[in-house]
Amino acid sequence: LTQPHYIRCIKPNLDKSSDSFNSGEVLRQLRYAGMMETIRIRREGYALREDHESFYNRFHLLLNPEEAAEGEGISHLVKVLSERLSITDADWQIGHTKIFLRRELANKLELLALLRVHAAARTLGRFGRFVAERRASTLLTAWGRLRLHMLRIHRERKAAT
């Protein structure tokens, strides 16, 4: 789910001459672009990185109402999910603006969120069917009473003539 937003060109030398490679200049450009930090993070196994707000919005639905009332924010969410899934801090790290996750943990969280959404959809579907059945039952009862009333009136008129 990592999506590059731009492509940064690295110049092999400052002279713009062909067949000339200045490794110090290339390393400086890579450091400036943040590539060395990104490479280090990826080597440590944190293949997925996401903003705190985005992560919280996607996965806060995994908290129970009681857990959500206990605290708020990314650190509370990570603490509760770590306890529930029996995972250590090595599987994810919280940075200043982003959270870094290992691929396996990200896949597990996605699956849990999907299961929670499906369960909520089933609950809403059951409630919708209950309401529809109740309305249909009320409508059929009212129609049946009206029909009996009309038959009674028809019999009374027929008996009067």
Model confidence pLDDT, tens digit, residues 55-111 = 888 888 888 888 878 878 888 888 888 888 888 877 788 888 888 888 888 888 999
- Measure the CA–CA gap between 148 and 65, rounded to whole angstroms: 50
Model confidence pLDDT, tens digit, residues 41-57 = 776 777 788 888 988 88
- Nearest Cα to 34, choosing from 95, 94, 91, 88? 95
Please state, for a pLDDT cut of 90, what percent of the chain lies above it. 24
pLDDT at 135 over 90: yes
Extract the tokens encoding 48: 């997925």
pLDDT at 2 over 70: no
pLDDT of the residue at 154 = 93
pLDDT of the residue at 1 = 59
Query: Is the model more confident about 115 or about 69?
Result: 115
The position carrying tokens 């579907």 is: 125
